[in-house]
Each structure stands twice: as C-alpha cells, then as structure tokens.
Amino acid sequence: MKKLINAPETVLAESLDGFALAHANLVELGEERKFVRRKQLTPGKVALISGGGSGHEPLHAGFVGRGMLDAACPGQIFTSPTPDQIVAAMQSVDSGAGSVLIVKNYEGDVMNFDMAAEMAEGNVRTVIVDDDVAVDRSTYSTGRRGVAGTLIVEKLVGAAAEQGRDIERLAALGKAVNSRTRSMGVALTSCTVPAAGTPTFVLGENEMELGVGIHGEPGRRRVKLDRADAIAEDLVAPIVEDLAPGNGRECILLINGFGGTPLSELYLMVNAAMTRLRARGVRVARFLTGNYVTSLEMAGCSITLTELNDDWLSLWDAPVHTPALHWGQA
C-alpha cells in the first residue's frame, strides 16, 4: 500500500486539520473534530446537516458553506458518523428554525441519523437519498443506495434554505429532487482502505464492475472492459429507463469521478453520455464534471441525471461558495 499518510489510525484527524487550515475562510472544525461547520451562519435559516463515512471527499465536508450545507459529520473511512457527532453538529448550527438532515441510504447512516434526530431538541426533518439504479429496491433491506445524487439534493435544498424557505418546504423539496434523480457507476479498479491495507476487491486486468457502489460494493455484474461508448450506454440506458424524464424536460448531467480517473477521461464520458442522451430525446441544461463523490483512489465514474423544473433550475444556478463547489456571488 502506497499512500501519503503517517499512520492509518491518524488519517482522518490529520486530513480534517489540513482541510480546516486550507479553507479557514469558509469552515471551522467542531470540538474533537466531530463535525465541520460553516464559519458564518445565516441567522434564522433552517440548518442543513449531512455526513457519512470519510473517503468520499469532497462529499460531504467540501460542500459546507453558503448555498449548501451548514455542517457535515465525517465518520471514519467508509464508516458512519456516530449519533453524538450528528447531535453536536445540529446544536452548533441551530438558529431556531429547525434542521434538515440529508442522509445517504446506507443502513448505518440511516440508523445513526435517526437516533440523532430522536436525541436532538427542536424541529428535525430527514431526507433520504437513494438514487442508485444499479440495484433493485428489493435487493437490500434498506433499498437503493445513496450515491452521487446526494450532491444534487444538497445543492438544490441548500439554495432554497438560503432563500429562507421553511423546514417543511425544504424537506419536501429534498424528497422531490431525490425522486427525480438517478445514478449508476462503473469501477475500473478497486480502492484500498488505509486500515485494511489491501484492495477492497480484485478486478482482473481486463475486467470492470458495472453498477459498483461508492464503498466498493458489487453492482449489476462484472464484465469485460469495454470502450467508453459502450460503458456510457450501459450506464445511461438504465438511468433513462428508470427516470423516464418527461418529453422536452431539461436535466442536470453530473459525470462524477471516483477519485482515480483523470478529467480528460471524465470529459470524454460527458461526450459519450450526451450522444446517448440526445438519441433518447433527453435535454441537458446544466453540466457538472469532476471528482465530487469519490471512493478513495478508485478508478471509474458514475453518471447522474436529475430532471428539472424552472424552480429547480434557478436553485441550481443560485450562488454557492463552498470549498469544493462555488459559482456566482455568494
């Protein structure tokens, strides 16, 4: 295992310290590094809190800032944050308007965020993200996994919260955006969790995992490595079939890298995906391309499609200023 670390047990703490130093104008660490929070809160605004296992950077801490999250709780690598972390984060950013928890649909995350919501004082709503079409809803007891579509939910709900919308409207918005968002990914290599020291799974030189999860969970099938155009078809087809966007409706297209894929290949996948989307009559109004919801150093990518309406388009375009995502005058 070759990694830029001092010791597996100190990776998260030292990474969070560096993150806080690098973005000291935007964020600060909570006590005992339990959470990352916005440096400047908006009084009277509903607080948005998310989190999950580390190793998916910049998700979630990289999306803390104006126009997105108020706080994020980092668990150990690929391990859910604890309820006390989440409660501490909620208390730190509470302005009296309540909190919306945005949670990826993994058993540990859902359980711990639910416990935190029960422990916390005040008005709390939860939005579960389950955008991964690689698995049937009946495959796991918890249903579909939450993957890169989490970014879309956090951005749109974050913009709406910045406008001053109340907690009920924000929770309803998050659930609606999730219902119109679909994702699917492919892995070309595995990743190595520092504490384990060995790859999470093994792929042959000419193999790829189609429909992989962001922790390396198996997807639809392991197949022979193919051309980018064929991979794009394998990802786009089930997404469009499941989402079934309305005729003429505009969408956001997110091509997300898993951490080990160069931008040149991700942009190539933008081109390949667009060819297949146009052939299906899908209109793309906004693009986002890069490594946003990663799996350590895994090579591969995911495709996410969100169907828009006029309100959601304006929320996507609204200013945002976080360590990992920023545009407009936020």
State the Cα–Cα distance between residues 86 and 82, nearest whole angstrom: 7
Q: Which helix (H) or strand (E) holds 321?
A: strand 320-321
CA angle, corner 56, sides to 92 and 153, nearest 5?
65
* Residue of 56, 60, 321, 326 marked catalytic: 56
E-strand ranges in 141-275 read: 181-187, 207-210, 221-224, 250-257
Q: Is 215 a catalytic residue?
A: yes
**Residue among 23, 215, 321, 326 flagged as catalytic:** 215
DSSP 116: H
What are the two backbone dihedrals, phi and then psi, of residue 296, each rounded to the nearest 5 degrees? 55, -115
The closest of 66, 32, 48 to 153, measured between CA atoms, is 48
Q: Is 23 a catalytic residue?
A: no
Element (H, E) at 102: strand 99-104
Q: Which residue has the tokens 């894929």?
A: 261
Show which residues are catalytic.
Answer: 56, 215
